[in-house]
Amino acid sequence: SQQGEEDPQALSIQEGENATMNCSYKTSINNLQWYRQNSGRGLVHLILIRSNEREKHSGRLRVTLDTSKKSSSLLITASRAADTASYFCATDAGGTSYGKLTFGQGTILTVHP
């Protein structure tokens, strides 16, 4: 079943502002990952958070995970025009589905200079 719903579907902000994207999922997970995709390109892995972790940082990125609510958020601080892209969350259920990612619908982020 499709899972990994993200909101907002589109987000438009000014350079320097923070951008927050949310992701919800339906089943138990081993880990949750965030990816970035520029138009017509492949995916770039941003950050992975495991089910026993609650928060993780990487540079200007901050990811939180709430397994009780089956949700995650990605915060990009001090956004730049170069951050303009689509952002996807993806869950890995582990077990026999290990490595098989279920992607959310994505958030299109536009950062205006």
Partner 1 sequence: GAVVSQHPSRVICKSGTSVKIECRSLDFQATTMFWYRQFPKKSLMLMATSNEGSKATYEQGVEKDKFLINHASLTLSTLTVTSAHPEDSSFYICSAMTPRPDRGHTDTQYFGPGTRLTVL
Tokens, residue 101 = 């990612």
CB of 16 to partner 1, least distance (A): 27
What is the rounded distance in angstroms from the CA atom of residue 80 to the CA atom of residue 41? 19
* Sites for partner 1 among residues 93-112 (CB under 8 A): 98-106
- Does 88 interact with partner 1 (rule: CB under 8 A)? yes
- 21 closest CA partner among 6, 31, 32: 6
- Does 61 interact with partner 1 (rule: CB under 8 A)? no
State which residue, 19 or 88, has the beta carbon closest to partner 1. 88
CB of 106 to partner 1, least distance (A): 6
Question: Which residues have a Cβ under 8 Å from the Cβ of 104 and sit 6 or more positions away?
Answer: 3, 4, 5, 6, 23, 25, 88, 89, 90
Residue selected from 7, 13, 20, 43 as contacting partner 1 according to rule CB under 8 A: 43
Whether 22 contacts 71, CB under 8 Å = yes
Query: Given the rule CB under 8 A, which residues bind partner 1?
Result: 4, 30-31, 33, 35, 40-45, 48, 50, 88, 90, 92, 98-106
